[in-house]
Amino acid sequence: MPLHHIKIPSKKRYLTIKEVAKMFGVTTLTLRNWDKKGKLKALRNPINNYRIYKPEDIELFLRKIESKGKIHLG
């Protein structure tokens, strides 16, 4: 999926792992692996410890990918 087609909801404060996985066209397991490897760090919900993401962190991640000219997300 081309990165310029990824729409990041600006009105949401946080995105769930499922929402981010759908945006990137990857599985939630892939996002968990990226988090462990430090590629895309997730925050943790203090109540249930679920992974959550700030929309601005997703934007920054996309900019880094685009600036490197490589798309190897796996």
47 near 31, Cβ under 8 Å? no
- Segments making up each domain of the chain, as ranges: 10-66
pLDDT at position 10 is 63
pLDDT at position 72 is 56
Question: CB neighbours of 8 closer than 8 A, spacing ≥ 6?
Answer: 15, 23, 55, 58, 59
pLDDT at position 64 is 86
pLDDT tens, the chain, 74 aa long: 445 556 666 677 999 999 999 999 999 999 999 999 999 999 999 999 999 999 999 989 988 888 876 555 55
pLDDT at position 1 is 43
Give the pTM. Answer: 0.76
| Fold category of 10-66 in CATH | Multidrug-efflux Transporter Regulator; Chain: A; Domain 2 (1.10.1660)
Tokens coding 4? 């310029």
